[in-house]
Structure formats: C-alpha cells, structure tokens
C-alpha cells in the first residue's frame, strides 16, 4: 500500500521515518501477528510491522502497511497479561489523577472507557461518583473486570452501538495509536458525547525530545502501534473531527519500581538484568513511582 497523503492534515510531503525491521517485521500483513506483541507489558521495543511514514507538516507517523484486521482482532481477543494484575494499584492511582483533571471540565455523570482492559480506570471513576462502563475485546481482561463488579461490553468498538449524546465523558487511554482508522473512532466519540461532555485520550508523543533522541529505540515503537501522534497531529486530528483541545499535558503513569526495572531489562539487556535482580531484592520493589519522561501526552477536548 502506498500512502500519498497524511490522513491527519492532508499534506503530501511524506518521508520514511523508520524502516520495518526486527523480528516479525511485515508479519502483520503476510502471516498474521504475534499475540505476545499486543499486551500492555509487551517489550518488543523498536519493532514495527512495516515501515513508518512520517508527515513533514504535522509530524504524524503511520505504518505503511496495516495489519490484517482479523489477525489483530484475534490477538486482542486472546490477549492475557498477568503482569497487569500486579500493577493494578498504580493503574487506579493513575486513573484518579486523570479523573481529577477531567473533573475540571465536566461534572461526574455517565462515563465510557474504550479499551478498559481489567477495569482499573472504571474502579477509580466509580469511587469518584461516575456511572462508569467500558468496552474491551480481551476475554481475559473482561473476566477480571467482571470479577471486580464492573459493567463491561466484551466487543471491539466497531461492534458496539453508541447512543448519540449519551456520555458526559469518554476515555480512551492508549487506544488511538492501535487503530487503523483513528478518525472514525473520533467521529463516533463526538456523536456519543453529551453537549457539555469531554473526551480524554492518552497517546505516546512521537514529537517529544526523547522520541527524537532515541529514534526507533524509543520504547513506544512497538509492533501493535500503528499510529505515531505528535502534539500538533493529535490537535489537528481532533479539530478535523469536531473537537477543540482544552488541555494537553505530559502523562506519566504509576507503576512499581519492579515493573520499571523489568522494562529496563528488556531495553538494555545486560545492564537491565543487573538492575532487575537488585530491585527484586530491594524493599522498595513494590513502591509506586511515576517518572515523567515527557514522551506521553494526555489530551482533554470538548466537542464543538
């Protein structure tokens, strides 16, 4: 497939940012996908399913060959990641902080989370008085969410009917970068939001200083990421689909020291394994931390 124009801004000045490389490059279009690459704790850093094309005008990146929809759908359907269970306390606290920002723009009401995983955001939303529900394709994650007493629809977004103006907030954390057509999702969100509702999205920031310094070794370059947003491109995409951005900030997430040490092991195998072993013996291993590398962004937008 040849990409001639940027789907975000329409510019035709495109350049290859990263060639497709690493184990499994191209497999998303030839022989399916590796389900292990479609987990929250996946660590196949620097690997892409095909070359990533970047727009010189807005900086947005997209893979040049999209994975087969059925292969990706099956990968998400079967995804299971026990590491997520160990990290739920940090996920809930990250959600609480996000909700505090959302509530500057909307009073608690009906909230929909797209890509709910095991439901930690919904747990935090219920604590704060929201009527919260979610959509999640992973059967394993849905089972965990329902164990927590949460209202979850076990389908993909495209298979769910959303009533017009039904929600006071829609949340999509770490979702848009996985979609072949984020614009279609944004259109659905706009129609489903109440007139005074807000959209909260988080995505990696491919225009950040860290992303530029690390290049394809940046830890958000992963096989399941199809889109690479910059602050400019996410703002344009939202505007083109009927939203006005009211807030955009960096978005650190809380995980245990142990989790970050494990990710470091995958990023720098030799040195990282030493750090991971030392952390495992430390009394600080389960302490929650949220280092801000300024390479993730949270965006709050209101529909026009």
Q: Give the pLDDT band of residue 267 (cuts 50, 70, 90).
A: low
For the cut 70, the answer to whether the pLDDT of residue 56 exceeds it is yes
Cα separations in angstroms, 103 against 246, 252, 298:
13, 18, 14
Cα separations in angstroms, 222 against 47, 147, 171, 206, 251:
5, 30, 22, 12, 19
Tokens of residue 133, six digits = 């529900």
For the cut 90, the answer to whether the pLDDT of residue 215 exceeds it is yes
Query: What's the rounded Cα separation, in Å, for the pair 198 and 295?
Result: 23
Q: Which residue from 290, 204, 287, 186 is spatially nearest to 241, judged by alpha carbons? A: 186
For the cut 50, the answer to whether the pLDDT of residue 240 exceeds it is yes
**Average pLDDT value over all residues in the chain:** 89
Please calculate the CA angle 58-113-190 and round it to the nearest 5 degrees: 55
Query: Is 59 in contact with 207 (CB distance < 8 Å)?
Result: yes
Q: Give the pLDDT band of residue 111 (cuts 50, 70, 90).
A: very high
> 269 vs 241, which has greater pLDDT?
241
* Mean pLDDT to the nearest integer, 69-75: 87
- Mark 239-269 as b/e (b = at least 16 C-beta within 10 Å): eebbbebeebeebbbbbbbbbbbbbbbbbee
pLDDT of residue 2: 65
Strand 152-153 versus strand 167-173 pairing type:
unpaired
pLDDT of residue 261: 84
Tokens of residue 45, six digits = 């850093």
pLDDT of residue 6: 96
Q: Which domains does the chain have, with CATH numbers?
A: 83-204+246-303 (3.40.50.150)
* Mean pLDDT to the nearest integer, 116-129: 98
Between helix 231-240 and helix 182-192 the angle, nearest 10°, is 50
For the cut 80, the answer to whether the pLDDT of residue 276 exceeds it is no
For the cut 80, the answer to whether the pLDDT of residue 26 exceeds it is no
Q: Give the pLDDT band of residue 23 (cuts 50, 70, 90).
A: very low
pLDDT of residue 172: 98
User: How do residues 144-158 score in pLDDT, each as one tens digit?
Assistant: 999 999 999 999 999
* Mean pLDDT to the nearest integer, 3-30: 75
């Amino acid at each position: 497939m040849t990409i001639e124009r940027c789907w975000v801004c329409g510019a035709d000045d495109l350049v290859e940012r990263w060639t497709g490389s690493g184990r499994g490059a191209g497999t998303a279009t030839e022989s399916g996908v590796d389900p292990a690459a479609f987990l929250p704790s996946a660590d196949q850093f620097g690997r892409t399913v095909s070359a990533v094309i970047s727009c010189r005008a807005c900086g947005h990146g997209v893979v040049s060959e999209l994975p087969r929809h059925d292969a990706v759908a099956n990968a998400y359907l079967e995804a299971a990641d026990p590491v997520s269970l160990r990290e739920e306390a940090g996920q809930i606290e990250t959600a609480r902080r996000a909700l505090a920002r959302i509530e500057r723009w909307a009073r608690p009401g009906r909230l929909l989370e797209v890509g709910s995983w095991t439901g930690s955001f919904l747990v935090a939303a219920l604590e704060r008085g929201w009527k919260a529900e979610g959509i999640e394709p992973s059967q394993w994650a849905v089972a965990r969410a329902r164990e927590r007493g949460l209202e979850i629809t076990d389908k993909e977004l495209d298979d769910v009917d959303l009533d017009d103006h039904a929600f006071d907030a829609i949340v999509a954390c770490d979702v848009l970068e996985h979609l072949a057509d984020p614009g279609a999702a944004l259109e659905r969100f706009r129609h489903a939001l109440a007139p005074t509702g807000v959209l909260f999205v988080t995505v990696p920031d491919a225009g950040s200083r860290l992303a530029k310094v690390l290049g394809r070794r940046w830890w958000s370059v992963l096989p399941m990421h199809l889109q690479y947003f910059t602050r400019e491109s996410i703002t344009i995409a939202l505007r083109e689909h009927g939203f006005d951005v009211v807030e955009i900030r960096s978005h650190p997430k809380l995980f245990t020291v142990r989790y970050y040490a494990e990710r470091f092991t995958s990023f720098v195998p030799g040195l990282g394994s030493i750090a991971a072993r030392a952390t495992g013996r430390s009394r600080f291993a389960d302490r929650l931390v949220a280092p801000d590398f300024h390479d993730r962004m949270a965006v709050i937008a209101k529909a026009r």
